[in-house]
Chains A and B, each alone.
Chain A
Amino acid sequence: MSLLGGRGHDAFDPEAWSLLFSEARRAGLLARLAAILRLDEVGLPERLQKQVKASLIEAAAFQRDVLRELEHVQQALQGLGVPVLLLKGAAYVRLNLPAARGRIFSDIDIVVAKESLAQAEASLMLGGWLTGKLDPYDQRYYREWSHEVPPMTHRRRGTTIDLHHALVMPTCRIRVDSGKMIREAVPVDGSAFWWRLQDEDMVLHAASHLMFNSEFERGLRDIWDIDLLFRDFASRSASFPERLFERAREVGLGEVIREALRLARALLGTPVPENLLPGDAKMATRLVARAVYSRHRQTRPAGQWLADMLLVSREMYLRLPNHLLLTHLAHKASLGFTGTTPHKAI
């Protein structure tokens, strides 16, 4: 498997496995690694087996919780009689796709039509999901310029819903017809309530999430999602790769999907035919590769911090028009620019 650099399991000594697990934990990917490589069956030393088992138990809990949470969301929104579109992790779990395996996440992303947004938000509030306290600036940023209402957290269960009315930022510099992707969504099998993006659009959405977001800590997971989705859909239909590129051109994500798949092919050996996608990644994509690579002290690439900074700037540039970009940066600078916010107490 190209993940292990083409080597078999026995090419790793126990210390190398420990380092791999440590890196994977850092990236939130230990359970994904365990599930995809079937690490519970390859005869690892006992200490490593226990870590594999523990990570799979945790991943199973996340999936169970997501499925249960979806039932609660359905109860809260069913009365509205509007279609509810599932995105990303929640969709993978509900559809039982390979991309759901070992995926650790708890936020649920859903989309409703813009005209139903206020009603949906009100129904979720009645169901117990509340918007956390935001300062007035963040509140306005979300409401006016973002494609979601502020995250809503359930007051008892602590679960979070991101309620969207579009797929990508409405102010984004690349013209993306995300409306078309939403309009052409299809019902989830056996459900009169949940909807999902078409196969092609699921991959496109995952790719745009990777290329427009500066959450590099999760970048490797996003690339892996793209890889698993692509492999799964391509194995079901031989014409999938062609349809994917055709669809990408239609909705304005041609460049985005090419770069995302070049990354996935370079890092994970995603089987994208060379005739459909010739060549190597561009400069910006190479920066992404550097940023999403191991962030572990022992193995991270040189200059990762620089790649991070360049990409954050690029992402902001792509997301927001100039006047908003300046206001946004000035506001964030006045708060102090920090990459992460660690917890205070233990």
Chain B
Amino acid sequence: MLTLSSCTSEQLHRSLRDGSFRLYLGQLALKVSSDIPEFIAAFRQLYGDHPVTLGGGEYDFDIAISAPALWRRWLRRNASFEFSGDTPFLPMEVGHAHALFEWGLNWAIASFLHHCLIIHSAVVEWQGKGVLLSAVSGSGKSTLSAELSEQGWRLLSDELALLDSDLKLIPLARPVSLKNSSIDIIRQRHPMAVIGPLARDTHKGTVAHLKVSADAVGHNLVPAVPKLIVFPKWVENAPLRVEPVGAGQAALRLIDQAFNYSILGAEGFRRLVALVRTTEAWQIEYSSLDEARDALETLVAEHG
């Protein structure tokens, strides 16, 4: 299949303008439209390995990154996230358009894909075993999943675990969102990593996106079987601590992090119970990414 980086600039611009562009994110097909050069440049860099088509066809989400209505255009150039022609969020400056796309896409997935139970969690895979890394914002989940992905783990998602009715994890490999100091940490540890433009002074501070490996993108249609649930927490200078978590406790913590648990009703409960019954749950506290990775690889080997 055609990848984004193999399209010519002219093809890409035309297709993003005339509504014929489709981006394939695993099972999801996105119709993406844009005429904002800053967005298109970052999009090309970060999604280069993703499959695309330029001939129209069916899609799940209809997304446009576009210049906002005239009356919002003064002072600086802005970009809007349009979903089905609606603008659910305030516009942001054009330099943040690629971050707006990622946030908007997260919102769309969490708001509409109710055939899956959607949990706020990173998903990675090691030696064929799926691992949920579930944590509240600010506990280093994205940094840890970026590190694992750079060390050869397969990344399925840095933000959203999608659990389907067969209890499989649906992959959504796409750029990993790094915030503030974690941008430099990943850059220093992995000088070859491709990191997109910095979006400074957003409501989450400075944000940049790590391009995921072509291998992770290439496996985007292969679901993973969940084997471990890990609640990671980064604590400055803390010694490594690895502790088991009971199934009931794990279920309660996942409910807390689920976006559509109540929408799924009894089915949500059933799916969550099945998940914690077929996996083991652990929590780890760490200050060193190397130690955390070692601990996770041991957990997968011994308990996955």
A54 near B115: Cβ-Cβ < 8 Å: yes
**From A14, which residue of chain B is reached at the shortest CB distance?**
B58
Knowing A47-B29, A61-B263, the reply to whether A342 touches B58 (Cβ < 8 A) is no
B115 near A53: Cβ-Cβ < 8 Å: yes
B residues in contact (CB < 8 Å) with A: 19, 27, 29, 31, 56-60, 62, 64, 82, 84-90, 100, 103-104, 106-107, 112-115, 203, 262-265, 267
A residues in contact (CB < 8 Å) with B: 14-15, 17-19, 22-23, 25-26, 45, 47-48, 50-51, 53-55, 57-58, 60-61, 64-65, 295-298, 300, 340, 342-346
Tell me the complex Cα distance, A57–B27, Å.
19
A346 near B103: Cβ-Cβ < 8 Å: yes
Tell me the complex Cα distance, A15–B56, Å.
7
Q: A344: which B residues are within 8 A, CB to CB?
A: 89-90, 203
Most B C-beta atoms less than 10 A away, residue of A18, A19, A53? A18
Q: A25: which B residues are within 8 A, CB to CB?
A: 84, 112
Tell me the complex Cα distance, A44–B106, Å.
26
Tell me the complex Cα distance, A27–B183, Å.
40
Q: A26: which B residues are within 8 A, CB to CB?
A: 84-86
Tell me the complex Cα distance, A342–B60, Å.
23
**What 10 A-B pairs are tightest by C-beta distance, nearest first?**
A14-B58, A346-B103, A54-B114, A61-B263, A22-B62, A26-B84, A57-B114, A296-B85, A297-B85, A22-B84
Q: B112: which A residues are within 8 A, CB to CB?
A: 25, 51, 54-55, 58
Tell me the complex Cα distance, A45–B27, Å.
13
Q: A19: which B residues are within 8 A, CB to CB?
A: 62
Tell me the complex Cα distance, A51–B84, Å.
14
Q: B82: which A residues are within 8 A, CB to CB?
A: 297
Knowing A57-B263, A298-B85, the reply to whether A342 touches B115 (Cβ < 8 A) is no
Knowing A14-B57, A14-B58, A346-B107, the reply to whether A58 touches B87 (Cβ < 8 A) is no
Knowing A22-B84, A54-B115, A60-B265, the reply to whether A17 touches B58 (Cβ < 8 A) is yes
B89 near A343: Cβ-Cβ < 8 Å: yes
Q: B90: which A residues are within 8 A, CB to CB?
A: 342-344
A18 near B59: Cβ-Cβ < 8 Å: yes
Contact of A23 (CB < 8 Å), options: B59, B84, B115: B84
**From A52, which residue of chain B is reached at the shortest CB distance?**
B115
A64 near B265: Cβ-Cβ < 8 Å: yes
Report the minimum CB–CB distance from A326 to chain B (whole Å). Answer: 24
B58 near A346: Cβ-Cβ < 8 Å: no
Knowing A58-B263, A60-B265, A64-B265, the reply to whether A48 touches B58 (Cβ < 8 A) is yes
Q: A15: which B residues are within 8 A, CB to CB?
A: 56-59
**From B99, which residue of chain A is reached at the shortest CB distance?**
A346
Report the minimum CB–CB distance from A170 to chain B (whole Å). Answer: 34
**From A341, which residue of chain B is reached at the shortest CB distance?**
B90
**From A51, which residue of chain B is reached at the shortest CB distance?**
B60
Tell me the complex Cα distance, A296–B85, Å.
5
Tell me the complex Cα distance, A65–B265, Å.
10
Tell me the complex Cα distance, A61–B112, Å.
13
